[in-house]
Chains A and B, each alone.
Chain A
Amino acid sequence: MIRNQRFWVAVAAFVFLSAVAASIILYFSRSESTVRIIQDGKVVTAFELEGHPDEELVFEYEGRKNIVEIKDGRLRMRSADCPDKLCERSGWCGKGSLPLICLPNRLVIEFTASDTDAVAR
């Protein structure tokens, strides 16, 4: 069997496809669960999303408010005082998500892997 060339073509295809599958699975199962909230370029707060108590956080910029809701280990922009409201439409974000951004209010909520326990600033 191993002298059959098609066998080896199959092996190569298998290796390639497995790698593709593994890449896709890994890419989508990222587990960064440290939330960093940055307003106007400054890190306002950072915390672990997992096990975080359900609550609401309010951020203000030039009199406009963003309300972030944390529930069951996920968060979303519950309301935003801004013209486009794109951030409200992003829905619930869990660990490993792409950042939640409210551009007009300079608010960025990103998910990172924490390599430090805290940052002195």
Chain B
Amino acid sequence: MRLRPLIMLAAASLLVSCGSSDAQKQRVLYSMDTYMTFTAYGENADKGLSAAADVISELDGKWSAENENSEINVVNIHPGQAVKVSTDTASLTAFAKDMYIITDGALDISLQSVVKEWGFTSLEHHIPDDARLASLLKNTGADRIEIKDDSVTIPEGMTIGLGSVAKGAAGDIAAEELKRQGVESAILDLGGNIRTVGVKPDGSEWKVGIRDPFGDGIFGVLLVGETNIVTSGGYERYFELDGKRYWHILDPETGRPAESGIVSATAVGAEGRYCDALSTSMFVMGKDKAIEFWRSRRDFDLILVTDSREVLISEPLKESFFLQDGCDWSVTVIE
């Protein structure tokens, strides 16, 4: 047994020196208010990662809520006016508006003022009262955003934020950039949003774990090729007051943390911003509506975990999902 690792090490070093096709390059970047780890393989990896990092930086500059010069913030300080933005921003905003309509209001990018009220952004946490929330909610409703010819107009009193779709969109754009640079195999972790390019250098599928909403580890693994995997859960950003937990995913109808019975919602599919939007939407919708939504569209896949530790998975993912050893949750396949 002691010999085995030595032999494997020798063989591995031979492989690595013979061809750099399997060499792994990694880059850790801080952007969009989170840490991202990009991993690429092949001879164009370095080039690709640089280009991808630049692209992310650029998008962060346009979409960041923290950066007061970002296109989004410029829109926010000029309500009632048609503000010219870049095509990326206009397209994403229009997409978010469509999603508001498609999800029956579950995804609403105009909740920024409410999110701010709770203190999720400033870290000065407090619980707003019903009256305050009601008055803030009057100025929400993403369907009231106008997008026309690369300019965005928001009504008075509204503040928008692209947080629920930005990373998903950025993942797709970064992946395209990597491919443009000749990278055929990569996996991007954008603060928990996973985007893959191709398959692993040896032809095998990526093993992507999904965070256990009740603990530190993972509850299952997905074996996938090129895809997006986005998970939304209350455990990502929250604060506790008097023993109760308040998370940052709000129900657009009440302005309070969404308590739909879902603790973790994962969307898997070809389009990053779509999956990003859906994971948040399904968290808000709850089990029944999410399943109904999926059945009516079937253009993505889902994995939901309820507060009673039930896992719901859409049929096409059945063969690719593996529950962790030792995890005894029930798994229900949704047809």
Contacts and interface: CB of A to CB of B under 8 A. Distances in A.
Direct chain A–B contact by Cβ atoms under 8 Å = yes
Interface in B230-264: 230-231, 233, 235-236
A51 B25 contact: yes
A53 B37 CA distance: 12
Contacts of A44: 35
Main secondary structure, interface of B, reads: strand
B218 A118 contact: no
Interface in B1-33: 1-2, 5, 23-28, 30
Nearest to A39: B35
Contacts of B187: 117-118
Interface residues of A, number: 27
B93 interface: no
Given A22-B2, A45-B37, A46-B189, A118 B208 contact: yes
Contact of A118 (B2, B5, B23, B189): B189
B200 interface: yes
A120 B209 contact: yes
B26 A121 contact: no
Given A44-B35, A45-B37, A119 B27 contact: no
Interface string A1-37: 0000000000000000000001001100101000000
B189 A48 contact: no
A34 to B, nearest CB: 11
B207 A116 contact: yes
Contacts of A45: 28, 35-37, 189
A120 B208 contact: yes
A41 interface: yes
B210 A117 contact: no
Contacts of B309: none
B209 A51 contact: no
Interface in B139-198: 187, 189, 192-194
Contacts of A115: 207, 209
A121 B24 contact: no
B208 A119 contact: yes
Given A47-B28, A120-B229, A42 B207 contact: no
Contacts of A117: 39, 187, 200, 206-208
A65 to B, nearest CB: 13
Nearest to B188: A118
A26 B230 CA distance: 38
B119 to A, nearest CB: 15
Given A41-B216, A45-B37, A118 B28 contact: no
B200 A47 contact: no
Nearest to A50: B24
Interface in A59-93: none
B27 A53 contact: yes
Contact of B26 (A22, A42, A48, A58): A48
A46 B37 contact: yes
Contact of B194 (A41, A55, A118): A118
Contacts of B222: 120
A50 B89 CA distance: 37
Given A118-B189, A120-B193, A121-B236, A47 B231 contact: no
A119 B218 contact: yes
A52 interface: yes
Given A25-B2, A41-B216, A118-B187, A47 B26 contact: yes
A57 B30 CA distance: 9
B28 A57 contact: yes
B221 interface: yes
Contacts of A118: 37, 187, 189, 194, 206, 208-209
A-B pairs with lowest CB-CB distance, top 5: A121-B211, A121-B192, A116-B209, A45-B35, A119-B209
Given A41-B216, A51-B23, A120-B222, 4 more contacts: A118-B189, A119-B189, A119-B210, A120-B266
28 contacts: A22-B1, A31-B5, A42-B236, A44-B35, A45-B28, A45-B35, A45-B189, A46-B37, A46-B189, A47-B28, A47-B37, A47-B39, A51-B24, A51-B25, A53-B27, A116-B207, A116-B208, A116-B218, A117-B39, A117-B207, A118-B37, A118-B194, A119-B210, A120-B192, A120-B194, A120-B209, A120-B266, A121-B233
